[in-house]
Amino acid sequence: MTTGTVQLHRVLRAPPERVYRAFLEPDAMAKWLPPYGYTCQVEHMDAKEGGTFRMSFRSFGSGNSHSFGGEYLDLVPGEKIRYTDRFDDPDLPGEMITTVLLRQVTCGTDLDITQEGVPSAIPVEMCHLGWQESLAQLAKLVEAETSE
């Protein structure tokens, strides 16, 4: 079975600690992770090494949803997040591994993401597009300056 790999890079105008939190707080994940046209329900999130998470995305247009979950492999505050992902759908078999690297730069955070093991049923370019949409929403969340 062939799998794909997606690599993304982005610089965010926010400190690494804030970006790191956005990957590990359920309410934040539900806000930025689903691509355009989807909602997210975080069912479970135990953000520690060896901890697990479970969530689902629902298409707002069709109402169809898909669930997935995984395990946190490495968590280094403000620097690194590595986790597994597995879809519930038997047509999307296998396990993906996502590595998120954060590095402090003069204007905020240099963010590198690699997702390996993308099921062959998902075109890599569609996965890449979904991540681009998610990262645009992440930027809006972490770069916003609020007065509260």
Tell me the per-residue pLDDT of 49-60, one tens digit each, with 9 for 90 and over: 999 999 999 999
At residue 147, the pLDDT reads 57
Q: What is the share, in percent, of the chain residues with pLDDT greater than 70? A: 97
Sequence ranges of the domains in the chain = 3-143
Confidence of residue 3 (pLDDT cuts 50, 70, 90): confident
Across-strand partners of 38?
59
Q: Across the chain, which distance is largest between two alpha carbons, in Å?
A: 51
At residue 38, the pLDDT reads 95
pLDDT tens, position by position, 35-51: 999 999 999 999 999 99
CATH 2.40.50.140 given to domain 3-143: no
Return the DSSP state at 88: S
Amino acid at 70: G
Number of alpha carbons in the 13 Å side-chain half-sphere of residue 24: 24
What burial letters (b/e) apply to 73-101, b meaning 16+ CB within 10 Å?
Answer: eebeeeeebbbbbbbeeeebeeebebbbb
At residue 140, the pLDDT reads 97
pLDDT tens, position by position, 67-108: 999 999 999 999 999 999 999 998 888 999 999 999 999 999
What average pLDDT is seen over the chain? 95
